[in-house]
Amino acid sequence: MTQDSLPNGLIETTGSGTTAEAADRLVAAIEGNEKLRLIARVDHSAGAESVGLELAPTTEVFFGNPALGTPLMHIAPTVAIDLPQKMLIIETDAGVRVLHNDPAYLAERHGIPADAPQLGVVAGALQNLANVAAGI
């Protein structure tokens, strides 16, 4: 299991199990945290199947914490285009890939000062959730 920062502003955590198992772990962690709100769980592979196409098991989970996101939107209203947070889970032969936006990338993209206190909290929370989803 690994964690990598990718050049496109994504952080990838690899883990074990299926996409469904990883998404279930992630949703349970979100629902078990009173500060987080589950927004949606989207099964992209089911969507592909509904139109006769194939896609490796791929699920995206949307969630947020208004207490952290709102102050960031006060600093840079455009960050709302990247909120709520999301995690993408893709199943491979080797396990699952759990991907999320790097808060430092979002800060740079939207002109949020790198020392904004919410960024560190968001980064830690996202990595913890990615680890849970990946089964680490």
pLDDT in tens, 89-131: 999 998 999 999 999 999 999 999 999 999 999 999 999 999 9
Whole-number pLDDT of residue 8: 84
Strand-pair partners of 11: 5, 100
Question: Where residue 116 sits, what CATH number does that domain have?
Answer: 3.30.310.70
Q: In the structure, what pLDDT confidence band is assigned to residue 4 with cuts at 50, 70 and 90?
A: low
Domain count along the chain: 1
- Distance between CA atoms of residues 81 and 60, nearest Å: 16
Closest CA to 85 of 129, 45, 21: 129
Q: Which amino acid is at 48?
A: A
Query: Which residues of the chain form beta strands (DSSP E)?
Result: 3-5, 10-15, 37-43, 58-64, 85-92, 95-101
Q: Which residues pair with 62 in a beta bridge?
A: 40, 86
Which domain, by its residues, includes 100? Answer: 3-134
For the segment 81-90, the average pLDDT, to the nearest whole number, is 97
- Residue that wins the pLDDT comparison between 81 and 6: 81
For 44-70, what is each residue's pLDDT tens digit? 999 999 999 999 999 999 999 999 999
